[in-house]
Amino acid sequence: MGSYRVCVCFQRRFKVAEAVPPADTKELFAKYAQGGTHMNAEQLHRFLIEVQGENSVSDAQSIVEKVLQKRHHIAKFTRSTLTLEDFHHYLFNPELNPPIGSQVHQDMTAPLSHYFIYTGHNSYLTGSQLSSDCSDVPIIKALNRGVRVVELDIWPNSTKDDVLVLHGRTLTTPVELIKCLKSIKEHAFSASPYPVIITLEDHLMPDLQAKVAKMITETFGDMLFYPESENFNQFPSPEELKYRILISTKPPNEYLQSENVNENAKKLQKSNNSDEDEWGKEPSNTTKDQDDDDKSDNDTSEHNLDDEPIDGSDSELSPTAAPIYKRIIAIHAGKPKGGLKEALKVEPVKLRRLSLSEQDLEKAAESHATDIVRFTQKNFLRIYPKGTRFNSSNYKPLIGWMHGAQMVAFNMQGYGRYLWLMQGMFRSNGGCGYIKKPDFLMNVTPENEVFNPETKLPVKKTLKVKVYLGDGWRMDFKQTHFDLYSPPDFYARIGIAGVPADKIMKKTKTKEDNWVPTWEEEFTFPLTVPELALLRVEVHEYDMSEKDDFAGQTCLPVSELKEGIRAVPLCNRKGDKYNSVRLLMRMEFV
């Protein structure tokens, strides 16, 4: 019994429920155990193939042994079969029965530009864009999560003899560039063997650019990759670039005069400041869980303070320093002169990276959608948050992925549902940080046409999801965490994040006063673009008088879902897995 004190002399008692096998589990056990009370390894093997859809089934006998070892330290020596409770324990164990695979399984031999890449924005910031500390710690955390693109803003120190990493023209405290580079070298491949790309936002004079080039070559040595020539028609593959570091920045222009640079900078800043912000207001309280992310935002007009600097540095470049710096650049960045049409021009032997803000992408998508897709088939497109996201919030990533953008850059130190989507997307392909873009984004028809993101598509696949029950909160939270006077009242939100036609959220009934809620509700999701769809799962605790309490979330790539009954572990707001909290769910494609 669980007791909750209501007042000095009165307590409420509630029975502590245990997670019991749902009806579907009982029926399947009876079927595959052929009406008996125990299931042997051969019968489990049949269940794994016929219900769980396992193509290459691991040794069913080893699964039986692992379950018995965890549940029955003595029985493991006397029997080799599973009871109904053992079978339920197996199904409800995320380590033995996960919802997605953990191995790299996609083709990793295509050119680098054929992949979505896990990309960070202002990777050195510990918090807000205006006043937080700059540090190598968030860089290390991001790399350990599988992030493959790290962004560093590099500026001269006060004496102009060394290079610092900081968010320029703000109150952020700097960190030395060399410290960041050494941390990247140490942790680059802790989560994935595939290449790490460092994007440099360069605000340096030529002598310090040469110093940066020396720092980078000495720190990374043979790990550093740079092509023999900037003229080539495709990038190497992630497989070819395993354990390599690539630098991406704007190359110095030996012939650019300082007057032209400064004049162009003023014009660009004026143009950026007049941009109309289409993405709406952000929550003023950064600790708030972004419950309003599912609703349409209100339009607002803000200044964009975070646009990338224009080509060249702040003064005339030295002809001796420029080649040294230019040589270390593997992926050349920059916006060509002219309008967007010119920027999206595909050159036959010159590959590059183009950067657009989130608002610029949305505007470009209105009239140049297919040009963007065609550009990203060969070149890199990086999308970055608008400069007014001072609290390090994020934006909708799907619009970038729909247009083939490889680098949808996110504030990994941020918060909110959009970050959950990013984390969910990059659980794909074993969490290696590289996801092969869907074929429809890479195909060109005989008529030289490419995918148009504006085209309305028919339903391609339907996903059925049944959420049975949840457990683990009583192990991971204090008894009074959700409610002082009674057990929690949990409900689940299940839905899809994807292209606009697929986006939807549904909700279960609320189960009152129960640490082990049993819903047994089924939902159906028709999908037009399942390749970009994410299954969203959230659990909340209903609160009559205040805002509902957050109780866990996860996002899973639909293309990676394993069919059958699966244990789905939930995460906290930052995306870290809880120790015990998980749901039992069934996924089926029809």
Least Cα distance to 248 among 310, 311, 333 occurs for 333
Q: Are 349 and 233 in contact (CB under 8 A)?
A: yes
Identify the CA nearest to 122 among candidates 336, 308, 397. 308
Catalytic residue (one of 121, 332, 403, 540)? 121
Structure tokens at 160: 């102009």
**331-360: burial string, b at 16+ Cβ within 10 Å, e else:** bbbbbeeeebeebbeeeeeebbbbbbbbbb
H-assigned helices in 377-487? 398-402, 417-425, 439-442, 473-476
If one counts every other C-beta atom within 10 angstroms of the C-beta of residue 318, the result is 17
Q: How far apart are CA 193 and CA 150, in angstroms?
A: 15
Q: What type of residue is 535? A: L
The residue from 45, 167, 403, 540 that is catalytic is 167
**Known active-site residue 121:** yes
Instruction: Output phi, psi for 70, to 5 deg.
Output: -80, -35
Instruction: Tally DSSP H helices, then E strands, for the chain.
Output: 15, 22
In degrees to the nearest 10, what's the CA dihedral of 518, 519, 520, 526?
A: -150
Cβ–Cβ under 8 Å, residues 361 and 403? yes
The length of the chain is 590
Question: Under a CB-based contact definition with an 8 Å cutoff, are residues 571 and 581 in contact?
Answer: no
Place of tokens 């309008």: 339
Q: Characterize the bridge pairing of strands 245-249 and 224-225.
A: parallel
So which residues are the catalytic ones? 121, 167
